[in-house]
Amino acid sequence: MKLLLDIGLSRVKWARYHNGALQYQGAIEHHGSADHIFYLLENNELSGLKSVCIAFVGEKTIQERLEYLIWKHWQISAEFIVADEEALSIFNGYNHPEELEADRWLAMLALHNESLPVCIIDCGARITIDLLNNLGQHIGGLSFAGLKQLHLAAAQARGQKLTEFLGDDQQDFAEDSFLATNPRDAVLAGSFYSVVATLDRVAQDLQEAFQEGEGLRFVLTGGDAEQLQELLGFATDYRPELIFEGMLAYLQKKNQKKLAV
């Protein structure tokens, strides 16, 4: 059994790959703690674990601590994926390929057998946008604050913790009007407008760049993708497990190379 981890700036998602099937397990806030991440894993049924593959975005100290805990408990050397120049006929567009975050690289690899061009929008704590042309070349991307980081910045500006600022019911803000009557609702509504407006404008610019009928499509993933999707002014394909799809493609290609040696 393989354990697959997608660790972002605020959340960890995990899945198991067993007997040829991907089994999604869950997602939760990790609070920037390797020990907290490991505690979540330790309390899941992982008997027969043979390997651990991780897409990690965050501080190096967290990565090193998690690597140590996994080795200490299971005697397994975790594999942390690093973006390469090329894989599966997808070509990394960064000047220094290894600087592209692993989750963004895997999201592109997940689409290697699908119609191109495509724009991938990952709606996590930070929002990233990456474009693949019809030849599988990564043209480049964008990265900016997502809902979580906008909320955190507002809380810090008021000298509050995020949980204190948002309160107990974080989703229940004024639905009858987009104009708020209290600080929290103003931030929540304003954050949505800010993110949606940015995504709509980027999509418009990209569609104009591909207006000659090349069929640009948009794929949406990430923790906030589902709630943002219904507000966007352009069509998107929601793929919640896109990173894990890319991870499986990456591992299968790697295993083929080993067998060929």
Q: How far apart are CA 166 and CA 185, in angstroms?
A: 9
11 annotated as ligand-binding: yes
Q: Active site includes 168?
A: no
10 annotated as ligand-binding: yes
The residue with tokens 């897409």 is 55
Q: What is the 3-state secondary structure (H, E, C) of the chain?
A: CEEEEEECCCEEEEEEEECCEEEEEEEEECCCCHHHHHHHHHCCCCCCCCEEEEEECCCHHHHHHHHHHHHHHHCCCCEECCCCCEECCEECCCCCHHHCCHHHHHHHHCCCCCCCCEEEEEECCEEEEEEECCCCEEEEEEEEECHHHHHHHHHHHCCCCHHHHHCCCCCCCCCCCCCCCCHHHHHHHHHHHHHHHHHHHHHHHHHHHCCCCCCCEEEEECCCHHHHHCCCCCCCEECCCHHHHHHHHHHHHHHHHHHHC
| Beta strands at 217-221 and 237-238: parallel, antiparallel or unpaired | parallel
Instruction: Name the nearest CA neighbour of 13 among 160, 202, 90, 3.
Output: 3
Instruction: Name the nearest CA neighbour of 93 among 144, 137, 143.
Output: 137
12 annotated as ligand-binding: yes
82 annotated as ligand-binding: no
7 annotated as ligand-binding: yes
- Catalytic choice (103, 168, 172, 176): 103
9 annotated as ligand-binding: yes
Binding-site residue numbers are 6-13, 94, 122
Tell me the catalytic residues.
103
Per the annotation, binding residues for ATP are 6-13
Binding residues for substrate: 94
Extract the annotated binding site for K(+): 122
